[in-house]
Structure 1
């Protein structure tokens, strides 16, 4: 099964890539692509908002990691290296993606199904009402927090791997993920009230004047500046509070350590829900056969314009900030 939530390639994948690069063959490429391509494609699409650009970056990422695989100490860091290179290529081509809000198409494009993840704890009516709102609620999460949430929850990276990808400390990753859970839950609470057919709150309509509270099936994302006041309103308003799903209510997050764990698991199950969006098979074919438009580009050119590598193969970045 290809995908970010898959267990990964079999042992020896990094060595196989390095051997294939030394031999000038595609040895090891197919297994790595099949294990990680779906997740990498979804990640690149989230960062760039464009499927064609994401496919090109996926192609180049595999070429770059293939050339650097001999710098890895075994397979433990292979997945983190793939995501780190993909991220550096996205930023190298489009600048710092955090300078602007992620577009709505990007929010809809990053669905990655993790095996065994289901949405628990919601009544059937709430589940059907919430699922269409998940991409919109994700789009309301701040970019840095959302990226950490995507890596850890959707793609299944552990905090150590995500820290290498984002070039921050593991403590910073944990803070970002926790903050993203809170922001996502707030946005989803607001949206669940906005689209409920029985809610009629004039104050909410004034607070969210852009049509978010118009009862539309899929509203626009909540403006980050309005996320906190809108969340406080739906949590405290007598007209809105009854339509907030109990598992996402603030009380669920404040019921001690066990309550926080249940809250986090509920949010993670919701965030992980979505139809799979596979990576293009044409990219896989080009990497294996050496045919297609990208094959006419010199592989040396791809490696030459890539962000330079550190001794361990990871992209060289600005000084790490241990926050």
Structure 2
């Protein structure tokens, strides 16, 4: 299916959209994640979570033609959350060129290996590499020089040269300069290094048969709603083009904003019980938020915000309810904001104003259309000391009782 059709299917929440995306890119994404993480289970989780994020945030992608590199960028973010497993050393009689290629790639830095694999194994265009990896431009050229240096060092490992010990492949420029100028190293060094051939010599990883049903089931299982909400909410930074932010090593917990997104999405799920969340379906998806085992193992959802009562001052939240706070597969106009219902005839509460200061008017009338403030109350008159109490007043407690006549 064309990338434009895949993007449109995700945006319109077609029931078969996740399966179509997996059929197009699932195995390639697994190969990429497996090469980075070195573990089958971690790679499967990274692919699943990347597709969850893609389904939730596909509306951010400005150019549907860049859907493929965008998916790899999301997979790179998920891989950065996991700890890669170092490859086990192996010398099982593989041919010399293949062994040299494997050792050379293993000697590269993680950044250089990632850039070269994206370009020559997965076919990401050079213009999209920086957006996928989150690195600076020029990374492909630096990775080329690093690969040339480590592969040359692997080929010359059995050729003794006393002067070569003073330079290392970790500084490719000086190392390659020595090889070109050295009478011992230059005849035995490779003339050119083709990165595509080097990576083509690496062994290919088999895709587990259970990967596809597990990924597809994640989008349909009501018990996974909580996990999907959490995964979708922890990726909160995106650029104007829709690609994730420059950082490819986010914190494991996802920060306060991720928890705020999860809380907002969870609250909206409770209100819209019949809404479909990532094809989770119906009221069962709502109940699945509370008892999702995957979500409980990862994080604790914060309590819902207290309701605002009419008449109390409304405090502005610390984080604005921007479109980035949209819940999973739910349609909200301008974010999940608290709305106060006002009485009929009033669109907003009237502001409280202090009484303006009094102004003296020579003519004795009001100034313009502003009403004259009421005069202050006059002081109460003080009764004279000889005044007798009125009949309505009660006598004081110390007054003696009246005697009867006669």
TM norm structure 1: 0.61
Write out per-residue CA displacement over residues 225-260 of structure 1, whole angstroms, 9 at most, x where no aligned residue: 475665455544444433323334xxxxxxxxxxxx
1:207 and 2:148 matched: no
* Mapped contact 1:140–1:183 kept (Cα < 8 A): no
Write out per-residue CA displacement over residues 95-121 of structure 1, whole angstroms, 9 at most, x where no aligned residue: xx8xxxx94459xxxxxxxxxxxxxxx
Question: How far apart, in 2, do the equivalents of 1:158 and 1:136 lie?
Answer: 26
SS of structure 2 residue aligned to 1:281: coil
Structure 1 unaligned runs (5+)? Answer: 1-7, 107-127, 209-221, 249-265, 319-323
Cα-Cα RMSD: 3.7
User: Of residues 200, 223, 245 in structure 2, which corresponds to 1:316?
Assistant: 245
1:37 and 2:32 matched: no
Residue matched to 1:153: 120
1:91 and 2:80 matched: yes
Residue matched to 2:39: 50
Residue matched to 1:125: none
Question: How far apart, in 2, do the equivalents of 1:105 and 1:35 lie?
Answer: 31
Structure 2 unaligned runs (5+)? Answer: 90-94, 248-406
Aligned ranges for residues 146-295 of structure 1 at < 5 Å?
146-168=113-135, 172=137, 175-194=138-157, 199=159, 201=160, 203=162, 207=165, 225=170, 231-232=176-177, 234-248=179-193, 266-290=194-218, 295=224
* Mapped contact 1:14–1:75 kept (Cα < 8 A): yes
Question: How far apart, in 2, do the equivalents of 1:275 and 1:150 lie?
Answer: 13
Question: How far apart, in 2, do the equivalents of 1:154 and 1:288 lie?
Answer: 25
Write out per-residue CA displacement over residues 265-306 of structure 1, whole angstroms, 9 at most, x where no aligned residue: x333333443432433322112223489x9486321221233
1:304 and 2:245 matched: no
- Distance verdict in 2 for CA 1:105–1:289, change over 3 Å: same
Question: How far apart, in 1, do the equivalents of 2:246 and 2:173 lie?
Answer: 33
User: How many pairs align?
Assistant: 242
SS of structure 1 residue aligned to 2:65: coil
User: Of residues 5, 16, 22 in structure 2, which corresponds to 1:12?
Assistant: 5
- Distance verdict in 2 for CA 1:281–1:305, change over 3 Å: farther
Write out per-residue CA displacement over residues 134-174 of structure 1, whole angstroms, 9 at most, x where no aligned residue: 122122333333322222222111122212213356xx1xx
- Distance verdict in 2 for CA 1:207–1:159, change over 3 Å: same
Which has the larger Rg? Answer: 2
Residue matched to 1:124: none
Write out per-residue CA displacement over residues 203-243 of structure 1, whole angstroms, 9 at most, x where no aligned residue: 38x939xxxxxxxxxxxxx9754756654555444444333
SS of structure 1 residue aligned to 2:108: coil
Write out per-residue CA displacement over residues 45-103 of structure 1, whole angstroms, 9 at most, x where no aligned residue: 34334332121111110111012223334531211221111122222445xx8xxxx94
- Distance verdict in 2 for CA 1:295–1:223, change over 3 Å: farther
Deviation at 1:36, TM superposition (A): 2.0
Question: How far apart, in 1, do the equivalents of 2:188 and 2:87 lie?
Answer: 25
* Mapped contact 1:14–1:74 kept (Cα < 8 A): no
* Mapped contact 1:193–1:234 kept (Cα < 8 A): no
User: Of residues 123, 131, 138 in structure 1, which corresponds to 2:98?
Assistant: 131
Bigger helix fraction: 1
RCO higher in structure (CA 8 A, sep ≥6) = 1
* Mapped contact 2:121–2:200 kept (Cα < 8 A): yes
* Mapped contact 2:126–2:140 kept (Cα < 8 A): no
- Distance verdict in 2 for CA 1:182–1:53, change over 3 Å: same
Question: How far apart, in 2, do the equivalents of 1:160 and 1:225 lie?
Answer: 26
* Mapped contact 2:161–2:185 kept (Cα < 8 A): no
